[in-house]
Amino acid sequence: ALNIARTVSGASRLYASLNSAAGASERLFELLDMAPEIADAPGARPLAEPVRGEVAFEDVRFSYDDGRPVLDGVSLHVKPGETIALVGPSGAGKTTLLNLIPRFYDPDKGSIQIDGVDLREATVDSVREAVSLVAQDIELFGVSLAQNIRYGRLDATDDEIERAARAANAHEFIVEAAQGYQTEVGERGVKLSGGQRQRVAIARALLKDPPILLLDEATSALDAESEAAVQEALARLMEGRTTFVIAHRLATVRDADRILVMDAGQIIDEGTHDDLVARGGLYARLAALQFNDAVPLA
Ligand code: ATP
């Protein structure tokens, strides 16, 4: 179910910008067909520019088709530029919480706001313009590396694409590929590692330059060199943006302004890493087991 959710997310994230893209591949449209349809409400207005990136959940309840609540009574207030780490056992609802921010789904109860505007009163396009999603298993398309980055902003010049790729630590492996930026991704072209795909996604997000960033860290450790390159690129990307990160690294939770601990669809605790470890609850147990850059406790 999780993989389906992520595939759908990747596809719908691109939907707005690709509406106007001429010549996108057929495969792309197949993916877009899977995007959950959220229609603009009558009288919906674009979020006011520039979006500052304040995000609020007010008593949000959400279930997928089977009606079982996956989020229940979730409230949170995030200031522009804040970094929020989400931690919790598998199935706690972390990905689902992230998926509600770009409106891949609407809540059953309660509301979600960006800059104080209920997302149901905003146009879907303007909400998705304000948000980028970066995950290791991000969808890349069977088009050139340059074009994959350009999906961040369709009118970007080749220069802007290269600048974004350099800032994402992707330029070096791109120029080493057979046709450089024109190398096709996928079966007929270059096969990228997880860390490389992630850096392409970071370049795409840098080009888009949104106020809100959603990150899903790799569950498995990347090789050390890729890890360092990805972390450096992410730090650049996060600068000055509201960031929600599903955290799998100790370094990430230590750097976050706040950690939210989720369990069974609820936020059960929040604080800094040191606060939460000192409390000795679910977080302390997860921290000892889950972080893939932590030295295991004896
Ligand atoms: P993980 O750490 O494994 O990624 P998570 O905390 O991100 O887990 P979610 O992926 O949000 O948790 O899943 C919460 C619950 O919702 C799980 O029970 C999951 O099976 C269910 N779920 C997720 N996506 C869907 C979907 N598209 N349709 C139906 N149920 C789903």
Q: Which residues, 6 or more positions from 59, have their beta carbon under 8 angstroms from its beta carbon?
A: 73, 74, 75, 109, 110, 111
**Nearest protein Cα to ligand 1, atom 17:** 91
pLDDT in the model for residue 26:
39
CA 13 → CA 5, 75, 133, 196, 278, distances in Å? 12, 24, 8, 20, 39
Q: Is 92 in the pocket of ligand 1 (CB under 6 A)?
A: yes
pLDDT in the model for residue 222:
73
Q: Is 95 in the pocket of ligand 1 (CB under 6 A)?
A: yes
Q: What does the pLDDT look like over 38-65, one tens digit per residue? A: 889 999 999 999 999 999 999 999 999 8
Q: Do the interacting molecules here have an ipTM over 0.90?
A: yes
pTM: 0.86
pLDDT in the model for residue 172:
96
Q: CB–CB of 132/208 below 8 Å?
A: yes
- The amino acid at 194: G
pLDDT in the model for residue 65:
87
**Could you tell me the distance, in angstroms and rounded to a whole number, from the CA of residue 107 to the centre of ligand 1?**
15
As averages over each run of 10 residues, the pLDDT of the chain (298 residues) reads 41 43 40 62 95 98 94 98 96 95 94 98 93 81 93 94 97 95 87 88 94 86 80 93 93 93 96 94 88 62
pLDDT in the model for residue 225:
79
pLDDT in the model for residue 118:
97
**Could you tell me the distance, in angstroms and rounded to a whole number, from the CA of residue 1 to the centre of ligand 1?**
7
Q: CB–CB of 149/164 below 8 Å?
A: yes
**Nearest protein Cα to ligand 1, atom 2:** 90
Q: Which of 79, 71, 110 is nearest to 265 (CA)?
A: 71
CA 24 → CA 103, 217, 269, 288, 297, distances in Å? 23, 29, 44, 46, 50
Tell me the residue ranges of DSSP E strands in 170-257. 212-216, 242-246
**Could you tell me the distance, in angstroms and rounded to a whole number, from the CA of residue 209 to the centre of ligand 1?**
28
Pairing verdict, β 109-114 and 117-118: antiparallel
pLDDT in the model for residue 31:
43
pLDDT in the model for residue 221:
65
